[in-house]
Chain A
Amino acid sequence: MQVFKSKTFKRIVSLAVLLLMLIGTYTIITETLSDTTYRTYFEKDVKKIKDNNEDVDIVFVGASRMYMSIVPSVLEEKLGVSNVLVGSTATQPICGSYYYIKELIKDVHPKKVILDVTWDRLLNEKQAQALLLVYDRLSGVNKIRYALNCFDKSNRCYLLGPCRYKDNILVADKIIAEKKLAKDSWEKKENSKGETYKEKGFVYAVSDVTTGSISFDPEADYWYSDDRILEENKEYLDKCVELCKENGVEFELVTAPCSVTYMYFVGGYDDADKWYRNYAKEKGINYINLNYLKGREDFLPDELMYDNCHTNGEGAYVTSEKYADLLLKEEKGEDISSYFYENLDEFKKDVHRIVALEAELEYSENANDDGSVDATMHLLSLKNPDAKAFYQIELQADGSDETTVLSEFSEEETVSIKLPGYTGYKLIVRAKSQYEGDKEARMVYSY
């Protein structure tokens, strides 16, 4: 009994209580406020594979482009392989890919790892949020090494749950409800962005974009050149290659589909493709750019894109079918290079339309006596050099189906128009080329 009254005992109890309180509060805050991500579902899939001691043949690693364009079941069926996992996370940094591949090799022993690469993959700085998504999927020493090597000092605090999820305090009820849903239902309901988790990492998106109406920002920093590659990213790519080699795992690079619009307005897109081709050659690995697949304009038009960087669900099935065919041919030792365009110029020759359209409206500050407003519309389009763009501008009142043509199809890129007022209308801009059968590019400008 004397022991319980001793100072030392009291101190130990006090420390233990403090520790328990800290761990308890930390866990409660983290568990309550953490977001429900696709990880929740993916981990269930992986657990099932591990519990059943199943083989995993192919693992896809990379950014959201991968998990929205690769359908594991299609590849499994076409290739006759047992398991295909799409273990990607949103905007995954390349250092994250390296540690994630390490984790997957340890956990599911894949025979082949396919890494997603794009024109900007090696240019990107590490973003805390993207790093954390990979961190969540790692474990043990690998997790610690990743935290130490990939996180900047200023970002390390986000490794602590209460710090990372503090903003969720304000939407705690929503977070808790989402979590309940994730726990109760295996098939997650469609989220606010029209995405649904389907299987083994694959996410099905229902939204789509209309050809030609994909907005593009000519001012944005969308350009590639070899000298913009960050050395650290290149080093981690090398490490990925080495890691797979050391573990006897086949390694491949793939560029998932992006919109045709994107290929047109990303400066130096072709240089990026060339860099990866040369890199793959140098390292003795395969590289496939699905955007350069011949006939891509027909089998994967922009209507099957979710946005500029991702296919929608339907597009994912189309992509996976085509990709599986290629992998099959590759497996048989067939030279698949003839299935691809040599470069962007060759690709562009098969595009006979106005790719995308952008418009900017400039108002006169003062309305006319009759209430109308003089305005000028500046028009811009993405197209091949030999294509001519003809623009038409229509006016539509909000809530009405009727349209009035303000300006007939013409080549003019600066068009003066008269608007009935400052608000309450939409301008529908159409653009078409001289090519026969060209689908119109269309954009709606609300004002």
Chain B
Amino acid sequence: MNIISLEFIIFAVVFALVFFIVPKKWQWAVVLLGNIAFYAFAGIGYIIYMIIISLITFLAAIKIEDIVNASKDELSKAESLEDKKAIKAVVNQKKRTICTWALIVAMGIWVVLKYTNFFLDNVNLLIEHLKPGAMIGNVSWALPLGISFYTFHAAGYLVDVYRSKYPAERNYFKYLTFISYFPHIIQGPFSRFDELGVSIKEEHKFSYDRMCEGAARMLIGFFKKIVIADKIGVAVNAIFGNYETYSGVYMLFAMFAYGIQLYADFAGYMDIVCGFSKILGINLAENFKRPYFAKTVDEFWRRWHITLGTWFKDYVFYPVSMGKTGQKMGKWARQKWGAKMGKLLPGYFALIFVWTATGLWHGANWTYLVWGYLNLIVITMTMQLTDFYEKLKAKLHIKSEALYWKVFCIVRTFILVCFFRFFSAAPDITTAVKMLKYTGINMQWNVLTSPTKLFVDVEYIDIFFIIIGTIIITLIDILDEVGVWEKIKLKCPMIIRNLGFTIIIMLLIMSLGSKSDLMGGFMYASF
């Protein structure tokens, strides 16, 4: 079901009504039924993958917990420390085996469905060199809706139970409710069972204030998506799609416009689902914290798709950097280059895994890997050269807290982030490189004298909406960044607040009916 549709609004209203009407102890069951109904719109057949992945992780988590519980008796009966150690070793071994196999099967399904064609394409490239003409045909499997998200939810849950972070869920349907929670299944956020899972199971009372807050946030989400993302995306597609025919200024514009489109699209979705969950009283993790106000690329990734970053931090970065290899590496680096490198090297090592995984998670294409490694290079360079930068800043009498410096850093980071995205926007590396080349040549700066020309294929009236929409959202983000937005919301007179909503709703209605084929589809849903 398209979230930008009348069907979804009707579905959401009916769902919320039923949710608050049924006895509170059955609210989670309503959520489960809602999830199934939502999923059925995409093709009920695909639900089988979700059931298999959730069942594997559910049973494995229970088994792991049972082993731990059973070992408690044995441990209490053990007479010596050696006995206890031996029992723990056996238990850990069993736990690890179950967890590893369950993860291999669950993640394996996702890997096979998502990466088989990528693998075959590369094998074919090799074969082409060895035996021209011989090719292996691609598979035509459709990627089930949300599989990249629910597989990671399930894997995270299993690892958390393995680490005894929280007890395993004993009711499969309650667990399935968490895994399949429809607001987070298409684009996230990545949720944790001890947060969202618990929140879903709780009993929720209707709250008028919460409803208003949630509805307002949903409205802002629709506004970002419809007024900004879908409209500006027309120009981005037109320019990137025919980059050879446009001058450098157009390419630069498209590069920044793509950054705005991606943010409005993704953050818009998050506002809609977080707002809807807020109405229900279910807490969804925040995925954005005004990312374009980040002063470094590293900070950008702590503000953009936050839950993906924390997922990789918890389940990839720490296990790798704190693992045996990482520690050995740290020790070796400490002896060779000193304490600083001893501390940094395991981190760099882990970051290679994190950015390989992040790149590939976004798409089965070399372009995403390059995009990931570009981020990796800038982040590690920043970490490595921090001391040098500090010294340089001191020499040049630059104060880190000065407004001009902050603005410079923000602009620099925005440019870098947008620049990297050439690789995620292009269908292949050759095209990405060509697009970069066209951005640098034949600039034709005179186009800037009539800037509306840059909005290629966008209707004149829509340019007006894009500009107004972007100004409104930027203003809200600035106020939020300086910490006054919440206060304004609380103290704003009712008339002014309602006037604001009226303007937003009218702009929203006027922006409907776009000729854009992007209308409704979300960019991150394809990752």
Contact = CB atoms under 8 A, between A and B. Distances in A.
Interface of A: 10-11, 13-14, 17-18, 21-22, 25-26, 29, 153-158, 160, 162-164, 166-167, 169-170
A18 B501 contact: yes
A11 B505 contact: no
25 contacts: A13-B494, A14-B494, A17-B494, A17-B498, A18-B501, A18-B502, A21-B501, A21-B502, A22-B505, A25-B502, A26-B509, A29-B506, A154-B519, A155-B513, A157-B512, A157-B513, A160-B509, A160-B512, A162-B506, A163-B510, A163-B512, A163-B513, A167-B459, A170-B460, A170-B461
Nearest to A21: B502
B70 interface: no
B513 A21 contact: no
A164 to B, nearest CB: 7
Contacts of B505: 22
B512 A14 contact: no
A398 B511 CA distance: 46
Nearest to B464: A169
A51 to B, nearest CB: 35
B495 interface: yes
A28 to B, nearest CB: 10
Question: Ordered nearest first, which 4 A-B pairs have the shortest CB separation?
Answer: A157-B512, A157-B513, A166-B510, A18-B498
B142 interface: no
Contact of A162 (B208, B499, B509): B509
Nearest to A128: B513
A234 to B, nearest CB: 29
B6 interface: yes
A131 to B, nearest CB: 13
Given A14-B498, A26-B506, A162-B506, A156 B6 contact: yes
Nearest to B208: A11
B-side binding surface: helix, strand, loop or mixed?
helix
A22 B208 CA distance: 20
Nearest to B460: A170
Which of A10, A11, A155 has most chain B Cβ within 10 Å? A11
Interface in B451-468: 459-461, 464
Interface in B485-514: 494-495, 498-499, 501-502, 505-506, 509-513
A21 B499 contact: yes
Contacts of A170: 460-461
A11 B513 CA distance: 33
Contacts, number: 54
B69 interface: no
Nearest to A26: B506
Interface of B: 5-6, 208, 459-461, 464, 494-495, 498-499, 501-502, 505-506, 509-513, 519
Nearest to B465: A166
A11 B497 CA distance: 13
Given A163-B509, A167-B461, 16 more contacts: A11-B208, A13-B494, A14-B494, A17-B495, A21-B498, A21-B499, A21-B501, A21-B502, A153-B5, A153-B6, A157-B512, A158-B513, A160-B509, A162-B509, A163-B510, A167-B459
Nearest to A33: B510
A21 B464 CA distance: 23
Contacts of A11: 208
Contacts of A162: 506, 509-510
Nearest to B2: A153
B489 to A, nearest CB: 14
A5 B344 CA distance: 61
Nearest to B502: A21
Contacts of B5: 153
B451 to A, nearest CB: 17
A153 to B, nearest CB: 7
Contacts of A25: 502, 506
Contacts of A29: 506, 510
B425 to A, nearest CB: 26
A158 B511 CA distance: 10
Contacts of A163: 509-513
Contacts of A164: 513
A158 B513 CA distance: 7
B1 to A, nearest CB: 12
Contacts of A157: 509, 512-513
A258 to B, nearest CB: 31
Contacts of A166: 461, 510-511
Contacts of A156: 6
Nearest to A11: B208
Nearest to B5: A153
Contacts of A14: 494, 498
Which of A10, A154, A156 has most chain B Cβ within 10 Å? A154
